[in-house]
Amino acid sequence: MKLRKVTAASAAVLALALSATACGSDDSDDADSGSSGGGTIKVGIKYDQPGLGLKEPDGSFSGFDVDVATYVAKELGYDADKIEFVETKSADRENAIARGDVKFIAATYSINDERKEKVNFAGPYLLAHQDLLVKTDSDIAKGTDLNGKKLCSVTGSTSAQNVKADIAPDAQLKELGGYSECIAALQSGAVDAVTTDDSILAGFAAQEKYKGQFKLTGLKLSNENYGIGVKKGDTATTDKINAALTKMVSDGSWQKAVDANFGPANYKNEPAPKIGVIVS
Ligand code: GLU
């Protein structure tokens, strides 16, 4: 009897230890995003896009999407210290929303019909255009046939989709997990160009470590209307976010975020879009 008790107690201790270990590894996946207890909101952003969504070496977050997300969260009732940022890569966004990993996503997320079948979108809050980033001495320019060229883009992005569908179906397209990986491929000479939104490319080109190495071609290959992704059918949250975005523009916070994040990259963005109006 006594022995049995001890055994049961040990088993309980062991179970506790195991669940504590499981919790510990779960937490470290979420990195430095703070407590996941009550009163916090989980928001999906990019971690590797300077000027838009970037995790800084000190664990803080910067960029236009981060500022938009922070403003929106505040309007939903969550102060900045109640936000838990989660990385949502291009190919993971619809699933992250469907699974409920995040309440909303602000991650250079273009609104399109295919995605609208899986998620709700608030916005748009920015209009960008697909462009190419090449080495400063590259002769790729307007009018260059990109078929046969080595291009890099990201899996699950509209940029990769557009290359395959119409920009250059016969290009050698390398699809990687994030744009920072494409930039490394461009720097090493493994690819001739990186293609995605000009907003993203301008941020990389302006980084201190790449200064003078890359240039944008200035081609406007598509219209990318950035929306905030929300769970499919969650009209209440979508409406609240639309109201927040409208307020962000009217009270000057949108322009402030533009100046702070795109100014250093010398990115000349389009004026604030009207909520619900998609430029096709
Ligand atoms: N805006 C485009 C998209 O939503 C390209 C940028 C990205 O991959 O986040 O796919």
Query: For residue 144, what are the contacts with CB-CB under 8 A and spacing of at least 6?
Result: none
Closest-CA residue, ligand 1 atom 8, reads 157
Kindly give the number of the ligand 1 atom that is closest to the alpha carbon of 196.
5
Find the 226 Cα to ligand 1 centroid distance in Å: 8
Quick one: pLDDT at residue 202?
A: 98
Query: For residue 16, what are the contacts with CB-CB under 8 A and spacing of at least 6?
Result: none
Closest among 237, 186, 201 to 42, alpha carbons compared = 237
Find the 155 Cα to ligand 1 centroid distance in Å: 9
Q: Is the CB of 120 under 6 A from ligand 1?
A: no
Q: What domains lie within the chain, and their CATH numbers?
A: 40-128+224-265 (3.40.190.10), 130-216 (3.40.190.10)
Quick one: pLDDT at residue 17?
A: 43
Which one of 65, 197, 201, 228 would you pick to mutate in the ligand 1 pocket, going by the greatest count of ligand atoms within 8 A of its CB? 197
How far apart, in whole angstroms, are the C-alpha atoms of residue 110 and residue 218?
Answer: 19
Quick one: pLDDT at residue 258?
A: 98
Q: Is the CB of 153 under 6 A from ligand 1?
A: no
pTM of the entire predicted model: 0.87
Q: Are 278 and 121 in contact (CB under 8 A)?
A: no
Backbone conformation region of residue 172, classed left if phi is above 0, alpha if psi is from -120 to 50, else beta:
beta
Q: Is the CB of 192 under 6 A from ligand 1?
A: no
Quick one: pLDDT at residue 25?
A: 36
Q: Is the CB of 33 under 6 A from ligand 1?
A: no
- Tokens 């201190």 correspond to 208
Closest-CA residue, ligand 1 atom 10, reads 157
Neighbouring CB atoms inside 10 A of 18's CB total 10
Bridge partner list, 133: 194, 216
Kindly give the number of the ligand 1 atom that is closest to the alpha carbon of 224.
1
CA-to-CA separations, 71 to 56, 66, 158, in angstroms, rounded: 19, 9, 26
Find the 159 Cα to ligand 1 centroid distance in Å: 6
Closest-CA residue, ligand 1 atom 9, reads 108
pLDDT tens sequence for the chain (280 residues): 344 444 444 444 444 444 444 333 333 333 333 334 569 999 999 999 999 999 999 999 999 999 999 999 999 999 999 999 999 999 999 999 999 999 999 999 999 999 999 999 999 999 999 999 999 999 999 999 999 999 999 999 999 999 999 999 999 999 999 999 999 999 999 999 999 999 999 999 999 999 999 999 999 999 999 999 999 999 999 999 999 999 999 999 999 999 999 999 999 999 999 999 999 9
Closest among 142, 45, 37 to 102, alpha carbons compared = 45
Which one of 47, 89, 196, 198 would you pick to mutate in the ligand 1 pocket, going by the greatest count of ligand atoms within 8 A of its CB? 196
Quick one: pLDDT at residue 150?
A: 98
Closest-CA residue, ligand 1 atom 5, reads 157
Find the 166 Cα to ligand 1 centroid distance in Å: 17
Find the 179 Cα to ligand 1 centroid distance in Å: 10
